[in-house]
Amino acid sequence: MGNAPPFVARAITAFALAFLLAGCPGESEPETRERVAAPAADMIARKDWLSPTDPTDPALWLASREAGRDVAPTAPAVGRWNEVLRDADQRFGESARMIANRAAQLETMLRERGIDEPAHELVADFARLADKGSRSGFSDLCQHYDNLRKQGLTRADALARLSRENGRPEGAGDEASDETGDEAAPGDAPVPVRP
């Protein structure tokens, strides 16, 4: 039993040495470094949707989406989208963010079925179906239009049906009068709708 204390002392020393060596960086475990992620390119253009708390300007998002890359807030396309959304705001009950979301969603759903109809054309076409001040439902028009296209109607036929359902003669809308508010002259052709 006289050998027990030196044995215990050696065991403690060996354990302490192993513990100290295990704490030292060695070749077996590389040192980790904090990584900072670079901002992803085209963050705005890649968004699928604008959430209610997203501060992104809907016109900037739509212009960036359309370009396939982020565009500057001062880009002409953003200005054009602002005009389109301002006009839509005078006709529909939804916010610019919701109109942008629905137009982008409809564009995507149509594209998935092989139908190429850009969001700006959809908004412009639907605006012709609603009078200024009417506060019509843009989302409702999107849903009805999508259903009509699923049934096999062409763009022109689907828009004509929506126009009739909204109690409007085909081609009617604010485009039938000039900027002064005067009615268009007899014989002026309505704005053509792409098939």
Average pLDDT rounded to a whole number, residues 70-83: 97
182: in domain:
no
* Residue 177, token pair as written in the block: 């009068």
Whether 25 shows a pLDDT value over 90: the answer reads: no
What are the pLDDT digits (tens) for 159-183?
A: 999 999 887 665 544 443 333 333 3
Which residues form the domain of 136?
41-171
8: in domain:
no
Q: Give the predicted TM-score (pTM) of the model.
A: 0.67
Question: If you ran DSSP here, which 8-state letter would residue 56 be given?
Answer: S
What is the pLDDT confidence band of residue 33, given thresholds at 50, 70 and 90?
low
**Helical axes 96-112 vs 76-89, angle rounded to 10°:** 110
24: in domain:
no
* Residue 42, token pair as written in the block: 């085209």
pLDDT of residue 169: 61
As a whole number of angstroms, the distance between CA 114 and CA 59 comes to 25
Between 10 and 83, the higher pLDDT residue = 83
pLDDT of residue 18: 52
Contact status, residue 144 vs residue 180, Cβ threshold 8 Å: no
Provide the number of structural domains found in the chain: 1
Residue carrying structure tokens 């098939």:
195
Whether 92 shows a pLDDT value over 50: the answer reads: yes
What is the pLDDT confidence band of residue 191, given thresholds at 50, 70 and 90?
very low
Q: How many CA atoms does the CB half-sphere of 126 hold within 13 Å?
A: 34
137: in domain:
yes
32: in domain:
no
195: in domain:
no
142: in domain:
yes
Cα–Cα nearest to 193, from 165, 135, 153: 153
185: in domain:
no
